[in-house]
A and B are shown apart, each in its own frame.
Chain A
Amino acid sequence: MHPPLSSQKVNLQMQGITVRYGSFIANDGVNISVDHGQTLALLGENGAGKTTLMKVLAGIIKPESGRIQINGKEVQILSPIHSQQLGIGMVHQHFMLIPTLSVAKNVCIGLKSAGYPFPNILKVENELIKISEKYNLQIDPKAIVSTLSVGTQQRVEILKALYRGAKILILDEPTSILTPQETHGLFGIIKFLTGQGCSVIFISHKLNEVMEISDRITVLRQGKVTAEISKDETNEKDLSILMVGHEFTKKRTIKPVPPEASELVKIDRITYFDERKLPVLRELDLTVKKGEIHGIAGVDGNGQVELAKVLAGILRPDSGRIFINGNDVTKLSPGKRITAGLAHIPGDRQRLGLVMDVSLGENFILETSGKEPVSKHGILNFNNIRNTSKQLIKDYDIRCISVDQTAATLSGGNQQKLVLAREFSRMPKFIIAMQPSRGLDVGATEFVHEKLLEQRENGNGILLISTELDEIFELSDRISVIYEGKILATLSREVANRERIGLLMTGKTDV
Chain B
Amino acid sequence: MFNKADNHNIELEFKKQRRAETLTAAGSSIGAVILALIIGAVIIRLLGVNPFDAYRALIDGAFGTKNSIAETLLRAVPLAITGIGITAAFRASIFNVGAEGQLYLGATSAVCVGLAFPTLHPAILLPLMAIAGMITGALWGGIAVLLKLKFNANEMINTIMMNYIAIYFVSWLVHGPIQQPGSPLGQTAGLSDNAILPIILKQTRLHIGFIITLLMVLLTGFLIYRTVWGYQIRVTGKNMFASQAAGIKVKWVFLSSMLFSGAMAGLAGFFEAAGIQHRMIENISSGYGYTAIVVALLGQLNPFGVLLAAILFGGLQIGASTMETAVGVPASAVTLIQYLIVILFIGRKAFSLIIQQMKKNRKVAA
A contact set with B: CB distance below 8 Å: 312, 314, 333-339, 344, 346, 351-358, 362, 365-367, 369-370, 375, 378-380, 382, 401-402, 404-405
State the main secondary structure of chain B at its contact with A: helix
Contact B18 A404 (CB under 8 A): yes
Q: Which of B10, B14, B245 contacts A314 (CB 8 A)?
A: B245
- Residue among A314, A333, A402, A405 with max Cβ neighbours from chain B (10 Å): A402
Q: Can you name 25 A-B pairs with beta carbons within 8 Å?
A: A314-B245, A333-B247, A334-B246, A335-B246, A337-B247, A344-B245, A351-B242, A355-B243, A357-B238, A362-B234, A365-B231, A366-B242, A366-B246, A366-B248, A367-B246, A369-B231, A369-B248, A378-B228, A379-B226, A379-B228, A382-B226, A401-B11, A401-B14, A404-B14, A404-B18
Contact A380 B235 (CB under 8 A): no
Give residues 249-302 of B contacting A (CB, 8 Å): 249
User: In the complex, what distance in Å separates the CA atom of A390 from the CA atom of B124?
Assistant: 49
Q: Beta-carbon contacts of B1-16 to A below 8 Å, as 1s and 0s?
A: 0000000001101110
- Considering only CB atoms, which chain A residue lies closest to B13 in the complex? A401
Which residues of chain B come closer than 8 Å to A335, judged between CB atoms? 246-249
Q: Which of B226, B232, B245 contacts A334 (CB 8 A)?
A: B245
For the complex formed, measure the closest distance between the CB of A451 and the CB atoms of chain B, giving whole angstroms.
19
Known pairs A335-B246, A358-B234; list 9 more (Cβ under 8 Å): A365-B231, A366-B235, A366-B246, A367-B246, A369-B231, A379-B228, A402-B14, A404-B18, A405-B14
- Residue among A338, A362, A365, A366 with max Cβ neighbours from chain B (10 Å): A366
Contact B243 A366 (CB under 8 A): yes
Residues of B in contact, count (CB < 8 Å):
25
Which residues of chain A come closer than 8 Å to B226, judged between CB atoms? 379-380, 382
- Residue among A346, A355, A378, A404 with max Cβ neighbours from chain B (10 Å): A355
Which residues of chain A come closer than 8 Å to B229, judged between CB atoms? 378
Which residues of chain A come closer than 8 Å to B204, judged between CB atoms? none
Which residues of chain A come closer than 8 Å to B234, judged between CB atoms? 358, 362
Contact B235 A355 (CB under 8 A): yes
- B244: interface (CB < 8 Å): yes
User: In the complex, what distance in Å separates the CA atom of A465 from the CA atom of B13?
Assistant: 41
Which residues of chain A come closer than 8 Å to B241, judged between CB atoms? 351-352
Contact B235 A353 (CB under 8 A): no
User: In the complex, what distance in Å separates the CA atom of A75 from the CA atom of B232?
Assistant: 54
Given contacts A370-B228, A380-B228, whether A352 and B242 have CB atoms under 8 Å apart is yes
For the complex formed, measure the closest distance between the CB of B222 and the CB atoms of chain A, giving whole angstroms.
9
- B239: interface (CB < 8 Å): yes
Which residues of chain A come closer than 8 Å to B235, judged between CB atoms? 355, 358, 362, 366
Contact B227 A378 (CB under 8 A): yes
User: In the complex, what distance in Å separates the CA atom of A237 from the CA atom of B235?
Assistant: 44
- Considering only CB atoms, which chain B residue lies closest to A370 in the complex? B228
Contact B245 A312 (CB under 8 A): yes
Which residues of chain A come closer than 8 Å to B242, judged between CB atoms? 351-355, 366
Which residues of chain A come closer than 8 Å to B247, judged between CB atoms? 333-339, 367
Which residues of chain B come closer than 8 Å to A367, judged between CB atoms? 246-247
Which residues of chain B come closer than 8 Å to A355, judged between CB atoms? 235, 238-239, 242-243
Which residues of chain B come closer than 8 Å to A404, judged between CB atoms? 14-15, 18
Q: Which of B15, B239, B248 contacts A351 (CB 8 A)?
A: B239
User: In the complex, what distance in Å separates the CA atom of A380 from the CA atom of B247?
Assistant: 17
Contact A401 B228 (CB under 8 A): no
Which residues of chain A come closer than 8 Å to B245, judged between CB atoms? 312, 314, 334, 344, 346, 352-353
User: In the complex, what distance in Å separates the CA atom of A333 from the CA atom of B244?
Assistant: 9
- Nearest 7 pairs of A and B residues by beta carbon: A335-B247, A366-B246, A355-B239, A367-B246, A338-B247, A401-B14, A334-B247
Contact A356 B228 (CB under 8 A): no
For the complex formed, measure the closest distance between the CB of A426 and the CB atoms of chain B, giving whole angstroms.
11
Q: Which of B15, B227, B238, B244 contacts A358 (CB 8 A)?
A: B238
- Residue among B11, B14, B235, B247 with max Cβ neighbours from chain A (10 Å): B247
- Considering only CB atoms, which chain A residue lies closest to B222 in the complex? A379
User: In the complex, what distance in Å separates the CA atom of A367 from the CA atom of B229?
Assistant: 13
